[in-house]
Each structure stands twice: as C-alpha cells, then as structure tokens.
C-alpha cells in the first residue's frame, strides 16, 4: 500500500467526487483506502483542490474514528473497553493482544501488519467483550480467542479475502 499519493491522483479523486453530497468524506475515504491513512500532503492537496480551509478538512479528518492521520497496519484490531466489556474481561483481551503483538494499544507493529486500538463502545454490549477486526465483529472474546484470531489473520496475510475469519474463530 503506497503511503503517499501524488497530486495528480488526488486530483482524480477530487474530480470524481466533485460536487457530490458528502464529497469531502468520500474523498477522504478514498485517499485512506489507497494509502491506509490520510497523509498531511494529501490533506493539503484536498484543501487546494476544494477551496475548503485546512481547519475544515482537518476537522472532518479528526472527527470520524474511521480516519487516521497516522499509518495503520494492514489489519485494524479494535478492542472495546466500554463499561460492559470492561467488566467482562476487556482489559485482559487488550493485554493479550499487546503481549502477542508486542505493541501497546494505539500502536502499529513494525511490519505494519497490525494496528491495535481501544474504543469505548461498539454497540453490542450484551455480547462483550467485543473485538472488531477489519470490520468483522467477535463476541465474548477471551485470551484463547485472541490467539485464534491472530493465528487466522497471520495465516491469511497477503490474501485479500478474509471472509472465513469470523467462522474460523467463533
Ligand atoms: S461496552 Fe463493549 S460493546 Fe458496548
């Protein structure tokens, strides 16, 4: 995944979404999909291309959790530490991911395979602890399940189709 985009590429994206409802969000989503995050240079190009202020563009980029201003790993692991998940063992789940990945929550592994983050509620409190991996949700996660999730992610690394992940780890 390229970490930078040239202005021509960004210009194409801007042209594609020009004038559409929610065009700024769509533009940022497409840049992030290509780069894995929103590089500062790209945001400045969006400012130049749209006539919006830098504050405006950064405001949108920082408001939505789905956007990242830092490079992320290929796999985004999100562990819920909201109250319901916390009392059901969420902290142990985070610690297990941290131990196995050798990073702290909020960090990305040096090989850029995994980013680990915490959130306050993923909206499925009764099934906690909840972990979201690249958009797939896992319920009642414990340390054994953490091991299975990582094993499956590592085995499919490099393959774009991870559709069997949830089934294999439930
Ligand atoms: S507290 Fe974890 S899903 Fe709500």
CATH of the domain at 122: 3.40.30.10
- 49 within some domain: yes
The string of pLDDT tens digits covering residues 110-164 is 998 999 999 999 999 999 999 999 889 999 999 999 999 999 999 876 544 444 4
Would residue 132 count as lying in a domain? Answer: yes
Within-domain flag for 30: yes
**Same domain as 120, residue 87:** yes
Q: Which residues of 23-55 are buried (b: 16+ CB within 10 A; e: fewer)?
A: ebbebbbbbbebbbbbbeebbebbbebbeeeee
Q: Are residues 123 and 55 in the same domain?
A: no
Is residue 42 domain-shared with residue 84, that is, in the same domain? Answer: no
Q: What is the pTM for the complete model shown?
A: 0.72
Residues 42 and 85 in one domain: no
Q: Tally the domains of the chain.
A: 2
pLDDT of residue 36: 82
- Assigned domain for 124 exists: yes
Q: Which atom of ligand 1 is nearest to the CA of 119?
A: 2
Domain extent for 110 = 75-159
Q: Is residue 70 part of a domain?
A: no
- Across 80-95, average pLDDT: 97
Residue whose CB lies within 8 A of the most ligand 1 atoms, among 79, 92, 94, 122, for a mutation test:
122
């Amino acid at each position: 995944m390229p970490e930078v985009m040239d202005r021509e590429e960004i210009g194409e994206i801007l042209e594609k979404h020009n004038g559409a409802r929610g065009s700024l969000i769509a533009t940022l989503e497409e840049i992030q999909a290509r780069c894995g995050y929103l590089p500062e240079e790209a945001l400045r190009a969006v400012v130049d291309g749209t006539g919006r202020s830098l504050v405006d563009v950064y405001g949108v980029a920082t408001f939505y959790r789905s956007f990242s201003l830092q490079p992320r790993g290929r796999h985004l692991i999100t562990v819920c530490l909201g109250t319901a998940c916390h009392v059901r063992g969420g902290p142990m789940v985070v610690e297990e991911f941290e131990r196995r990945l050798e990073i702290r929550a909020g960090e990305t592994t040096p090989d850029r395979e995994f980013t680990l983050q915490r959130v306050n509620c993923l909206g499925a409190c009764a099934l906690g602890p909840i972990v979201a991996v690249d958009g797939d949700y896992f319920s009642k996660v414990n340390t054994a399940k953490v091991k299975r999730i990582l094993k499956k992610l590592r085995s499919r690394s490099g393959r774009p189709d991870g559709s069997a992940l949830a089934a294999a780890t439930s």
